[in-house]
Structure 1
Amino acid sequence: MTNLSRRSVVAGGVGLGGAALLGLRPEFARAADFPTKPFTAIVDAAPGGGHDRFTRAITPEWTRITGQPIIPEFKPGAGGVLSATTIVNAPADGYTLGVIAVSSMNVSIALGKPQGFGFGSFAYLGTMWNGPIAVFTGKDSKWESMTQVVEAAKTQKITAAVAALRAMYHISGVIFDKRMGIETQFVPYNGGGPSRQAAMSGETDIVWTGLYDASANYDGLRCLCVFDKENPIPDVIDAPTVYEMFPEQALTLLHPTAYCVSAKVRDENPEVYQYLVDAYRETYTSEATQKALIDLQFQPASLKYTSPEELSAIEADFIEQLKSIEI
């Protein structure tokens, strides 16, 4: 347990006036003796991927704000469970950060994959990016609307490509199928790219994927449905939302990826946790960070900061959706 609370109140400690003397912003005053060493970010993918590029993009501003850099440590494998286990088991001192695909991790937890942790094991700092699930079909496909696909599924086989079975996109499709009273045949491919290629080529009727994940394939795909209350990029993708097409069965399906720490940090060192949340929010929303991310081809619409409270609400809603199906 750090001595942040003690340092914030002792004589000569840091109140608002002390923060000004030290050149610190008031919201960071309570953590005047933290941090004193670099942070480690547990990244659940190989170097060079989106998680790595994001971490490197935020590090300059994070270093400016906290005085300490973020050093990535790559732990790919087991669908993110390996890295998640490392995050959960790290000391509660706040120096071990992590990357979590929130909804995907909830699917893994629901499937019983992780050992030694479950729902509520992570305390979020804020999103890296966030966006809705969407259904696409090939540009030259016969399918003109999601309504047409749903009606056809009642009398014939409809094939849907997914990155993998019993993973986020597949589970999203299963949840929707149950609401609509249909049964799609889900076909697994080795990753998101191959699954989208399957729909583009006509090998499958549709593909379940992320709205932004498909950005590299927009020229070869048509979006049939966006699983959010609004289409966040109507100037890029001309597609209706599930709320417009199926108002009685509509649901929001989001796929946020977030920076987090073990819930032990929040519970055992609340001052440290709040410091990290504040520092992350300032880092993420800064003009320098946003420019760096956009320069790296991150979709601007996906880069809207989502707070820990909002992420927890998204997580709770998705967990309820998981309870509606057998996985």
Structure 2
Amino acid sequence: MKKLITLATAVALGIATTLASAEDNFPSKPVKIIVPFAPGGASDAIARPLALAMSQILGQPVVVENKPGAAGNIALTHVVRSAADGYTLLLGNISTNAMNQTSYADRLQVVPSKELTAFGLIGLTPSVLVASTNFAPKTGREFLAFSKANPERVTYWLPGVASGPHFDMVELERFAGIKMLAVPFSGGAGPGFAALIGGQIDLGLVNLGGALPLVTSGKLRAYAVSTPHRLPELPDVPTAAEAGLGNLTSSWQALFVPSETPAQVVRKLHKALNDSLKRDDVKEALAKSSTIITPSKSPDDAQAWVVGETERWAKIITASGVKPQ
């Protein structure tokens, strides 16, 4: 019996030593960043410069793998079910990792806030409330007055039912006491922008990168930005609060690992991410995608932010009554 106990103890110690060694030597093979959307989009534009910088910092290739579909839920599930060893990361955002937990609660096979851990925030992508130049109101306050006088006459473009902009516009309706008509589009941003420019749709809540060239060229009118302060790119456009629109949402991005990933590995990944965000080439690349870099001080801070956002949006989404189609 004593020999069996001694053997079991030795085996356990051997396993523990092997695991500790693996964590100490992390990474010893390529790391993957899973992007929940197709190549060429905003998330992809953020992931690729980060992957290159982290490769050089970690001393191993960091590759981007796109897994689009089901509003990001395919990628969420894939990463949750991957080995919790730090070699499979998720580039998540406000929709995939805060909103989807509530809006897709009856379909999701995982619980993102519990089964994934954010080890670092990347940045915020501001939103801009834009209007067709054919739409009569010239300012946010004029738009509110028009909407109150004409219930369900104002139309707004959506990239999809139960998407982030959808919930934001529903919250705007609640805040302002107005009622508008949502018009979902498929096929990416192109058809929606075309409808706005052509005057078939009145409003749209879009990211800064897409809005900026159309606003500065006079093809669209900007009512407000989602940031607490005016943006240097659009200095004449008021904040949502200044325009009387309450709050509009800036999307955020973060990197995640399965929640059982060893703390030592999580800390290494956090440092590699934050060191990457300090590099000039990464700053320049993220600026081109209109991302304001907002690194987190620690993995715990990043996860606390995501949990807080998940809880905040759960209340808004539940109250909205909006369901994915």
- Match of 1:283? 276
Q: How far does residue 36 in structure 1 lie from its aligned partner after superposition?
A: 1.0
Deviations 1:261-288 (A, max 9, x none): 12232xxx11211111111111122223
Q: How far does residue 80 in structure 1 lie from its aligned partner after superposition?
A: 0.7
For residue 76 of structure 1, give the secondary structure of its aligned residue in structure 2: coil
Quick one: distance in 2 between partners of 1:172 and 1:76? Answer: 23
Alignment equivalent of 1:63, drawn from 55, 69, 93: 55
- Match of 2:80? 88
- Match of 2:238? 240
Q: How far does residue 105 in structure 1 lie from its aligned partner after superposition?
A: 4.0
Q: How far does residue 216 in structure 1 lie from its aligned partner after superposition?
A: 4.2
Q: How does 1:42-121 map to 2 (within 5 A)?
A: 42-111=34-103, 112=105, 113-121=107-115
- Match of 1:19? none
- Match of 2:161? 165
TM-score normalized by the length of structure 1: 0.80
Residue 175 of structure 1 contacts residue 322 of structure 1 at CA under 8 Å; is this kept in 2? Answer: no
Residue 281 of structure 1 contacts residue 305 of structure 1 at CA under 8 Å; is this kept in 2? Answer: no
Quick one: distance in 2 between partners of 1:272 and 1:121? Answer: 16
Paired residues, number: 295
Quick one: distance in 2 between partners of 1:48 and 1:227? Answer: 24
- Match of 2:210? 213
Quick one: distance in 1 between partners of 2:195 and 2:18? Answer: 54
Q: How does 1:139-178 map to 2 (within 5 A)?
A: 139-156=133-150, 157-178=153-174
Deviations 1:69-102 (A, max 9, x none): 1122221111111011111111111110111122
- Match of 1:17? none
Q: How far does residue 166 in structure 1 lie from its aligned partner after superposition?
A: 1.4
Alignment equivalent of 2:263, drawn from 254, 257, 270: 270
Q: How far does residue 57 in structure 1 lie from its aligned partner after superposition?
A: 1.7
- Match of 1:34? 26
Q: How far does residue 165 in structure 1 lie from its aligned partner after superposition?
A: 1.6
- Match of 2:224? 225
For residue 242 of structure 2, give the secondary structure of its aligned residue in structure 1: helix
Unaligned runs of 5+ in 1: 8-29
- Match of 1:183? 179
Q: How far does residue 5 in structure 1 lie from its aligned partner after superposition?
A: 9.5
Q: How far does residue 66 in structure 1 lie from its aligned partner after superposition?
A: 1.0
Q: How far does residue 39 in structure 1 lie from its aligned partner after superposition?
A: 0.3
Alignment equivalent of 2:289, drawn from 293, 298, 304: 298
How many percent of aligned residue pairs carry the same amino acid?
Answer: 23
Residue 4 of structure 1 contacts residue 33 of structure 1 at CA under 8 Å; is this kept in 2? Answer: no
RMSD: 2.6
Q: Which amino acid in structure 2 is aligned with residue 197 of structure 1?
A: A
Residue 4 of structure 1 contacts residue 32 of structure 1 at CA under 8 Å; is this kept in 2? Answer: no
Quick one: distance in 2 between partners of 1:148 and 1:226? Answer: 16
Q: How far does residue 257 in structure 1 lie from its aligned partner after superposition?
A: 2.2
TM-score normalized by the length of structure 2: 0.81
Q: How far does residue 290 in structure 1 lie from its aligned partner after superposition?
A: 2.0
Residue 223 of structure 1 contacts residue 239 of structure 1 at CA under 8 Å; is this kept in 2? Answer: yes
Deviations 1:132-178 (A, max 9, x none): 33210123532211211222222321111111121111111001111
- Match of 1:12? none
Higher relative contact order (CA 8 A, sep 6+): 2
